[in-house]
Structure 1
Amino acid sequence: MKLSRNLFSALGRIAPNRTFFSVIMGGVAGCCYALLIPLVLASFSDDPLSQNQSEAETLRFLGFEVVHYRMALVFLIACLLIIFTKALSQVLLIRVSIELASDTRTKIFKRIISAPIDQLEKMGSAKLIATLTSDVPRIVIGAGLLPELLISSVSLLGVLSFLLYLNPPVFSLVLGAIAAGAVSYQIPMFFALKYYTRSRQATDDLHEAIRGLILGAKELKLSEKKQEDFLSKIAGTAEQKILKHDKRANTFIRTTAIYGEMINFFIIGIIVFVFVNYRTISKSELAGITMALLYITGPIATLLNLMPQYLNARISLNKLNHILNELCNERSATGKHAAGFFDSVKLSDIYYQYPTEKFQAGARIGPINLILTRGQITYIVGGNGSGKSTLAKLLTLHYKPTKGTIAFNDTAVNLENISSYRNAIYSIYSDYHIFDKLLNLPELKKDSTFNAHVESLKLNSLIDMMGDNFSSQNLSDGQRRRMALLCALMEDKDFFMFDEWAADQDPAFKRIFYEQLLPALRKRKKLVVVITHDDRYFSFADQIVTMEDGELKSIYHQTQTSILDNHPAAR
């Protein structure tokens, strides 16, 4: 999935009929603009378009005398048409542009949801946030400029056509001068585009700096040296890059725009002071030519002034397409194959290789051979960097193994059934997130089970429920973890994964978690996996898997009898 390569085709994909009608209205407005100067010149007594001066009539209207009232009426109609068609063209295309923004964001949301987790981790959140907050608005602004660009272009062509009718040699001179100016205009615009592109690339670094500033505020608060280094080496570096590139780009843009606006006056000077010495031009023709050239200064200035925003929109569109191309779709068959009941999950000769762009070359885990059974609790233990979390993400189907097979019962996980098996899994990782709206859990406030869990987790005074929304902004880390556990218990899936859930809990809630909640899940025949360092509670596990340097070092099994003997609370 990717967006169109240019703004016009992107708009046409969203609403082809309205986009086409907007273009037509813009063209009509441009033609009416181009008609105004010939109408004014035609009212002059010696204008070539005035066919018979005796036909000029005066009409009294609302107490005012109107000369050449027919032409005045046409002039008025043209002005009213400009107001109507230009407004209609711009309003239509602005609305389509807003729809394009919404559709684009939705596509990005869906692509992020369907992208492999390891790709999202490799790309980083800052780049995606920059795309959503910077690129999409720029695309909307650029798309909204198309009617104005079209109207100015048609007006320019119309006035040039009038010059061709008025004096072909002058038209040739003007056309040649505009062509030469357009070619020379592209040279500085090339450099401006290059600097705008570099500025956009630096925007990703700036968003990453902002993310680091927010997440690392506590660390920065405790060291003035860190604050200075952050401002100078991280945020400052990104800001300086953007500042430098934007300044250079706008210097080229503004200088070129002024040069473009003055091209007409250079042409007028050449015609008035030089060209008349080689070609016979009447004063009325010269006045008409001068008026026409002065008139097209407006459309040319519009085209030149709007060009930077249009270029930024093109850069953002290319950046957005690049992001979408980087995020490949897993192409899993959502909902087509329902996951059947499973007693076990088996990993056979599993290897996983990390992307070398983010992790050191050769970083991997494997081989892993492991069987997890429903009605049992499995602890995964090991030091930092041993591969515990990677193994967990393989088990929860967030990562796809580089080699080997994951099977639920005897059914190997593949693209056809992976979504269905994921629907049977609930995980709480150390970097978990709690949504402000309860997803997939309607009418929980009225549910007795929900209220019982809220009471046992001591969350009844902390949750402010409003329909299916709740606020968790002022909760501590431990309380937020209990909130995540509450959502997990209410979804009541078949496979639970807890990554260091008890790390931020006080001793009382640790006991509740290990001695009550986990045994209750075992009793209900759930498959439970816990990443933990709490060796005090190791005896509650049915099996303990030890990871070391990316390899499965050992598997220790306990009998149900030994568990009950060691901890009667597990009964």
Structure 2
Amino acid sequence: MKLLELLSWGDNNLVIRLGVAGALSGVGSAALLGIVNTAAEEIADNGIDEVNWALAATFIVLAVVYFLAEVFLISTIARQIENGIDRVRKKLLSQIAVADFAQIEIFGQSRLFDSITQSTQNISQNSHMIGMAFRSLLLLVAVMAYVFWLSMLAFFIIVVVVGVGILIYLRMGKTLSMWFGKLHQVETILFDRVSDLFAGIKEVRMWSKRSDAFKVAFDNASDNKAEIGKKAQTMISRQMIMGISAFYILLAIIVFIVPVYSDSFDADVAKISTAVLFMIGPISIIVQSMSVLGMAERSAVRMMQLSKDLEDIREPIAEDGMPLSDPFDHVSFENVVFTYPNRDPRHGFELGPIDLSVKRGELLFITGGNGAGKSTLIKILTGLYRPVSGKVSINNTQLGPQSMSAYRNLIATVFSDSHLFEELFGTTDIAVEDAQYWIERFELAHVTGIRDGRFITIALSAGQRKRLALITAILEDRPIIVLDEWAADQDPYFRKKFYREILPELKQRGTTIIAVTHDDHYFDVADRRLHLDTGKLSELDLTDPRGRI
């Protein structure tokens, strides 16, 4: 069972602990049932003359053992489920963090969000039902052992009837599993529609035809989800009714039919009937839990498959890499070529071959048209993409698995689609004066600031958020800053300030700056200008008209 395997990650003793607690609970409940039957038999034979204190004391002791085992079992299962989910969630996040960046882009957010949030919620929110189902299963096994001790005939009758019921149930479960698979698919489509609405609300409102068509698509997705959900719930109800009905049929066979054909059965029919009635409660819980367990099992399968897929695209970088032997002096590319994975090489984009050298303290501009490969080159420069051929070197030492992490630590970035963290993760030694200086330098002191290692607010305009992102990169105090069309979101006044004042100031401090830009009015600020055209790189004079708008 994938669910149990999933929850056992990092805990090899889980099955043993649950098994011991479950055995105590099951044996205790079966023993309690036996004592009740024994007491009832004594009363039937001898009447109520006096209390059988030995039997009563045994009942109390077993009741205490049963109670403690039940509490331990249910609490252990609930705790283990939460601990297991926590381990799984952390493992998936750690695997995402070290996955090959070019490959992880192909995955898409829907699958990652589903496994880390929705699938874990499916298991966590129903942890009590999972625990009750496990407890009820063990209780059922113990009661069946008691029935076997009473009568082998009754035991085999129960096994046959339950076996037939299980076959019917599994057949219905196969159909239900199909419907749950369809339900997951339409839920994913509905999630994508909701994401489209949130991300594209401006575009939806700006054109009534798009708004109407989107509403139709959303309604269709919602209707499909509701329709399939109703069918799945109907199948769940049928399964539950079938499971309970099977035991009433079993009880009728034991009470009305078997005694007619077996004289030896008469003496134990009351005890066995009591045992069957005792099993109806656990069976009801198991039947009711099957759909929950089915959803939890499918969630576990999805998470384990994602974990396997992430492990397959794990970046070949050593976790405990070695530091660079010398301070950063220069980075060089030699015949570097990159193509995107899983694309037809005859029609896919290819960057390179590229030969390039970036020296410490340089201010370098990268220009080129849309689709020329600027963002791809930036991702290779920052170590997010690995070239398919050629080599990248720092200080004449080729980058490899042992040095890649140390290389990335040299580079602060602000990508065109960069995420702004409210908390300044990793920058624990920020001087208050430095933080305040840059907040004022970027003219943001009237709207935000830095307090206790985090921005007071990041609910600002796109241009202001980009300024905060660059402040973060500066405060990280790394020797290289890479910017991807940073000034695109700035107004003309601050764009000029950025090129004429801020970049020269950072260069004067010794920072190496690599910036993708279209702002041809400020090409003269750079020390060098590299130009990309359909994946081919060349160095141009700062006054060269190519690449100018």
- TM-score where L is the length of structure 2: 0.91
Equivalent of residue 431 in structure 1, options 400, 417, 441? 417
- Aligned counterparts of 1:225 and 1:170: Cα–Cα separation in 2: 70
Q: Aligned with 1:44: secondary structure? A: helix
Query: What is aligned with 2:81?
Result: 97
Equivalent of residue 21 in structure 1, options 13, 17, 20? 17
From the superposition, tell whether residues 206 and 413 of structure 1 become closer, same or farther in structure 2 (CA, over 3 Å).
Answer: farther
Contact 1:198/1:245 (<8 A) preserved: yes
In structure 1, list runs of 5 or more residues that go unmatched. Answer: 59-66, 563-571
Query: What is aligned with 2:395?
Result: 409
Query: What is aligned with 2:547?
Result: none
Contact 1:22/1:147 (<8 A) preserved: no
1:51-450 equivalences in 2 (<5 Å): 53=46, 58=50, 67-141=51-125, 145-233=129-217, 235-280=218-263, 285-327=268-310, 328-339=313-324, 340-356=326-342, 361-444=347-430, 446-450=431-435
Query: What is aligned with 1:463?
Result: 448
Which stretch shifts more, 120-129 or 528-537?
120-129
- Aligned counterparts of 1:73 and 1:358: Cα–Cα separation in 2: 78
- Aligned counterparts of 1:213 and 1:169: Cα–Cα separation in 2: 63
Q: Aligned with 2:40: secondary structure? A: coil
Give how far 1:19 is off. Answer: 5.6
In structure 2, list runs of 5 or more residues that go unmatched. Answer: 545-549
From the superposition, tell whether residues 381 and 245 of structure 1 become closer, same or farther in structure 2 (CA, over 3 Å).
Answer: same
Give how far 1:42 is off. Answer: 1.3
Contact 2:74/2:135 (<8 A) preserved: no
**CA deviation map 1:432-480 (0-9, x unaligned):** 1111111122253x43222211111112122243311224342111110
Q: Aligned with 1:530: secondary structure? A: strand
Contact 1:441/1:491 (<8 A) preserved: yes
Q: Aligned with 1:555: secondary structure? A: strand
- Aligned counterparts of 1:87 and 1:509: Cα–Cα separation in 2: 65
Contact 2:523/2:542 (<8 A) preserved: no
- Are residue 480 (structure 1) and residue 476 (structure 2) matched? no
From the superposition, tell whether residues 45 and 100 of structure 1 become closer, same or farther in structure 2 (CA, over 3 Å).
Answer: closer
From the superposition, tell whether residues 241 and 417 of structure 1 become closer, same or farther in structure 2 (CA, over 3 Å).
Answer: farther
From the superposition, tell whether residues 220 and 555 of structure 1 become closer, same or farther in structure 2 (CA, over 3 Å).
Answer: same
Give how far 1:89 is off. Answer: 1.2
Query: What is aligned with 2:33?
Result: 37
Give how far 1:188 is off. Answer: 0.9
Contact 1:202/1:241 (<8 A) preserved: yes
- Aligned counterparts of 1:454 and 1:125: Cα–Cα separation in 2: 33
Give how far 1:213 is off. Answer: 1.9
Query: What is aligned with 1:63?
Result: none
**CA deviation map 1:507-557 (0-9, x unaligned):** 2211221112222233333321111111110111222222222222x3114
Contact 2:333/2:391 (<8 A) preserved: yes
Give how far 1:498 is off. Answer: 0.8
Query: What is aligned with 1:569?
Result: none
Q: Indicate the RMSD between aligned Cα atoms, in angstroms.
A: 2.6
From the superposition, tell whether residues 109 and 12 of structure 1 become closer, same or farther in structure 2 (CA, over 3 Å).
Answer: closer
Give how far 1:501 is off. Answer: 0.6
**CA deviation map 1:300-333 (0-9, x unaligned):** 1111111111111111111112212222221312
Contact 1:22/1:93 (<8 A) preserved: yes
Contact 1:351/1:367 (<8 A) preserved: yes
Contact 2:321/2:401 (<8 A) preserved: no
- Aligned counterparts of 1:321 and 1:268: Cα–Cα separation in 2: 41
Equivalent of residue 502 in structure 2, options 505, 517, 528? 517
Letter aligned with residue 350 of structure 1: V
**CA deviation map 1:127-148 (0-9, x unaligned):** 2122111111223356654542
Identity %: 27
Letter aligned with residue 254 of structure 2: I
- Are residue 545 (structure 1) and residue 545 (structure 2) matched? no
From the superposition, tell whether residues 300 and 221 of structure 1 become closer, same or farther in structure 2 (CA, over 3 Å).
Answer: same
Which stretch shifts more, 275-284 or 447-456?
275-284
Which stretch shifts more, 206-215 or 174-183?
206-215
From the superposition, tell whether residues 159 and 95 of structure 1 become closer, same or farther in structure 2 (CA, over 3 Å).
Answer: closer
Letter aligned with residue 467 of structure 1: D
- Aligned counterparts of 1:549 and 1:244: Cα–Cα separation in 2: 49
Contact 2:259/2:266 (<8 A) preserved: no
Query: What is aligned with 1:566?
Result: none
Count of residue pairs brought into register by the alignment: 541
Q: Aligned with 1:536: secondary structure? A: helix
- Aligned counterparts of 1:166 and 1:334: Cα–Cα separation in 2: 61
- Aligned counterparts of 2:41 and 2:76: Cα–Cα separation in 1: 41
- Aligned counterparts of 1:290 and 1:468: Cα–Cα separation in 2: 69
Q: Aligned with 1:385: secondary structure? A: coil
1:2-13 equivalences in 2 (<5 Å): 6-13=2-9
Query: What is aligned with 1:61?
Result: none
From the superposition, tell whether residues 544 and 484 of structure 1 become closer, same or farther in structure 2 (CA, over 3 Å).
Answer: same
- Aligned counterparts of 1:255 and 1:336: Cα–Cα separation in 2: 58
- Aligned counterparts of 1:77 and 1:57: Cα–Cα separation in 2: 23
Contact 2:6/2:304 (<8 A) preserved: no
From the superposition, tell whether residues 361 and 178 of structure 1 become closer, same or farther in structure 2 (CA, over 3 Å).
Answer: farther
- Aligned counterparts of 1:438 and 1:546: Cα–Cα separation in 2: 34
Give how far 1:103 is off. Answer: 1.7
Letter aligned with residue 407 of structure 1: S
Q: Aligned with 1:27: secondary structure? A: helix
- Aligned counterparts of 2:76 and 2:243: Cα–Cα separation in 1: 30
Q: Aligned with 2:503: secondary structure? A: helix
From the superposition, tell whether residues 478 and 283 of structure 1 become closer, same or farther in structure 2 (CA, over 3 Å).
Answer: same
Which stretch shifts more, 10-19 or 261-270?
10-19
